[in-house]
Amino acid sequence: MTTIQHNHCSITLKGSPQAFLLHELREQCSDSSVRFGCGSGHCGACTVLVDGVAQNSCSLPVWAAEGHHVQTAQGLPDHPIGRIVLQAFIDEQAAQCGYCVSGILIRITGLLQKQPDADEALIQETLSKHLCRCGAHTRILRAVRLAQRNLHHVSPLT
């Protein structure tokens, strides 16, 4: 059995430690915000933060997350920076079909946690790890810039 910190609660995953984190989060934690996309770590739909670092959960074995904090989009409303990013995406209507947006929200939250003043090139590099076919790229970029501005107006501890 593997214990991880999932969003704000400690859970023990009962599946095989060789199983991929994506499946365990969806099946044992009922976390549908972690999406299965390509299954090979190329589309970004399954992105989670493991101790603040963006990881593709479709190719990350459960044993690699043992003892670590795993943040998913489901927990963003309770995450100080995630809440700001989430609201910016809502304000800018930065999701169309919504399938890829969970991974994008998580990766941007991780970026802004480490580099709140990331420049345009770094934001685009960060987003390049996600496939979105809806054409919402302009709105996504606007949402990231809005989140950056809002981070300067609100203390991350509120």
Q: What is the DSSP letter of 4?
A: E
105-122 average pLDDT score: 97
CA dist list (Å): 52 to 7, 18, 144, 147: 11, 22, 18, 18
pTM, two decimals, is 0.91
Residue 117: burial class (beta carbons within 10 Å; 0-12, 13-18, 19+)? exposed
CATH of span 75-153: 1.10.150.120
Strand partners, 5: 10, 69
Quick check: 155 pLDDT over 60? no
Mean pLDDT of the chain: 91
Q: Structurally, what CATH architecture does the domain formed by 2-72 represent? A: Roll (3.10)
Residue 15 pLDDT grade (very low, low, confident, very high; cuts 50, 70, 90): confident
Q: Domain residues of the chain, as ranges?
A: 2-72, 75-153
pLDDT at position 78 is: 94
**Cα angle 87-93-98, degrees, rounded to a multiple of 5:** 95
pLDDT at residue 156 greater than cutoff 60: no
Distance of CA 112 to the CA centre of its chain: 12
